[in-house]
């Protein structure tokens, strides 16, 4: 299972969640048992989980936006609590998963089967950072070979977005991060240019304009702060689109210049979980990985046994970290 910044936000309290809760949502595992109504998944299969289960039949699902499934609440609904504390009160699970555990119970719609040729320590990445980062570029932004892309934030999601832009054939990919070491990593994953971001967004804008005087056709925000989302919009050329991926604290607001929006035909959009299409995306990601077009191995910069999870959370602050992956050492995948 991978450690995601969302887990860290809930851990620190910067994003709200009902307590008590079992965190963890970026996970691959083996199906131990299935219920009688399950038709798509079999015992023994290797699966990857998603926080966006979808019904496959509502208007949003059939129009290719399953992350906005109209029945997402009923897809997650349960007749009985999934987990109980010793006093009988219910315990929440992040995203209906709660992966920081030896075993967890999920709805059929929350998992996709992956082939055994995908190593489990990289398969888990498909569940969150790859779905979000690559998904945002392919489905959310719909980047193509004519496009120039700026990616703000070079953590797991940002690096995945850079790889997505490379897969999509973008002609320029500008990685932006405050930490120079992250930018060196970004080049290995397909960034053609790098910009060290400044605390003054105007400075960052000037640097991007020195590379592309008109601005970029797509800016992808993978940080989760209103300042970086506003920066994403400011980097756009006319007709450009800013796609915001980062989850921001409840109540956050964005300020964008109306003139730039209207006179320049610019676009600002969200792409929750990268607007991914999980069930078919998992096959797409697997094929790109197996054919060396999507580098998952190098994204796992640290592997630890599950018992050292807190060390893993601390390692997330290191400049060299892209993803920390925890292994259940007593279980063979
Ligand atoms: Zn995540
Ligand atoms: Zn649906």
Per-residue pLDDT of the chain (333 residues; tens, 9 = 90+): 999 999 999 999 888 899 999 999 999 999 999 999 999 999 999 999 999 999 999 999 999 999 999 998 888 777 788 899 999 999 999 988 999 999 999 999 999 999 989 999 999 999 999 999 999 999 999 999 999 999 999 999 999 999 999 999 999 999 999 999 999 999 999 999 999 999 999 999 999 999 999 999 999 999 999 999 999 999 999 999 999 999 998 899 999 999 999 999 999 999 999 999 999 999 999 999 999 999 999 999 999 999 999 999 999 999 999 999 999 866 555
Residues with CB under 5 A from ligand 2 (ion): 54-55, 58, 61, 69, 71
Residue of 28, 29, 26, 7 whose CA lies nearest to 17: 7
- Give domain limits for the chain: 5-129+276-327, 142-270
Q: For residue 330, what pLDDT is reported?
A: 63
Q: Which residues pair with 194 in a beta bridge?
A: 175
- For residue 255, the model assigns a pLDDT of 98
Helices marked H in 168-257 — which ranges?
180-188, 201-211, 226-234
Residue 255 pairs with which residues in a beta bridge? none
62 CA → ligand 2 middle, Å: 7
How far does the centroid of ligand 1 lie from the alpha carbon of residue 98, in Å? 12
Distance (Å) from CA 22 to ligand 1 centroid: 14
CATH assignment, 142-270:
3.40.50.720
How many whole angstroms from 188 Cα to the centroid of ligand 2?
A: 37
Q: Is CATH 3.30.1050.10 the classification given to domain 5-129+276-327?
A: no
Q: Among residues 1, 2, 6, 224, which one has the least CA distance to residue 95?
A: 6
Q: What is the pLDDT of residue 75?
A: 81
**Helix, strand, coil tally for the chain in percent (to 5):** 35, 20, 45
Whole-angstrom distance, CA of residue 184 vs CA of residue 177: 10
Q: For residue 145, how many other CB atoms are within 10 A of its CB? A: 8
Ligand 1 centroid to 261 CA: how many Å?
30
Residue 58 Cα to ligand 2 midpoint, Å, equals 4
Cα(332) to centroid of ligand 1, in Å?
Answer: 24
Token duo for residue 240: 């450009």
DSSP-derived letter for residue 44 is: T
Peptide bond into 18 cis (omega under 30): no
Amino acid 82: pLDDT: 85
Q: How far is the CA of 149 from the centre of ligand 1 (A)?
A: 22
Residue 5 Cα to ligand 1 midpoint, Å, equals 6
pLDDT at 249: 87
Q: Could you tell me the distance, in angstroms and rounded to a whole number, from the CA of residue 73 to the centre of ligand 2?
A: 10
Query: CA–CA separation, 7 vs 175, rounded Å?
Result: 24
Helix (H, G, I), strand (E, B) or coil at 268: strand
Q: What 3-state class would DSSP assign to 113? A: strand
């Amino acid at each position: 299972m991978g450690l995601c910044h969302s887990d860290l936000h809930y851990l620190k309290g910067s994003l709200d969640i009902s307590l008590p809760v079992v965190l963890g949502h970026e996970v691959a595992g083996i199906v131990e048992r299935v219920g009688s109504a399950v038709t798509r998944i079999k015992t023994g299969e290797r699966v990857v989980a998603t926080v966006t289960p979808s019904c496959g039949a509502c208007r949003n699902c059939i129009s290719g936006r399953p992350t906005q499934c109209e029945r997402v609440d009923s897809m997650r609904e349960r007749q009985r609590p999934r987990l109980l504390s010793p006093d009988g009160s219910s315990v929440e699970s992040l995203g209906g998963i709660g992966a920081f555990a030896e075993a967890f119970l999920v709805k059929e719609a929350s998992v996709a089967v992956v082939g055994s040729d995908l190593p489990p320590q990289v398969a888990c990445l498909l569940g969150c950072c790859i779905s979000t980062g690559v998904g945002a570029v392919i489905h959310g932004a719909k980047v193509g070979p004519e496009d120039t892309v700026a990616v703000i934030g070079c953590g797991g999601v940002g690096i995945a977005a850079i790889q997505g832009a490379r897969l999509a054939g973008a002609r320029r990919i500008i990685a932006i991060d405050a930490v120079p070491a992250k930018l060196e990593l970004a080049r290995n994953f397909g960034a053609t240019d790098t910009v060290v971001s400044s605390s003054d967004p105007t400075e960052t804008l000037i640097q991007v304009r020195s590379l592309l005087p008109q601005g970029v056709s797509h800016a992808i925000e993978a940080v989760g702060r209103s300042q970086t989302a506003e920066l994403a919009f400011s980097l756009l050329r006319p007709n450009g689109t800013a796609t915001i991926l980062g989850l921001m604290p409840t109540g956050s607001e964005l300020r964008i210049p109306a003139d730039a929006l209207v006179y320049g035909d610019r676009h600002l959009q969200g792409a929750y979980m990268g607007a991914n299409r999980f069930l078919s995306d998992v096959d797409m990601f697997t094929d790109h990985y197996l054919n060396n077009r999507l580098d998952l191995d190098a994204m796992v910069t640290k592997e630890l046994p599950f018992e050292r999870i807190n060390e893993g959370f601390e390692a997330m602050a290191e400049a060299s970290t892209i993803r920390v992956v925890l292994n259940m050492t007593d279980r063979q995948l």
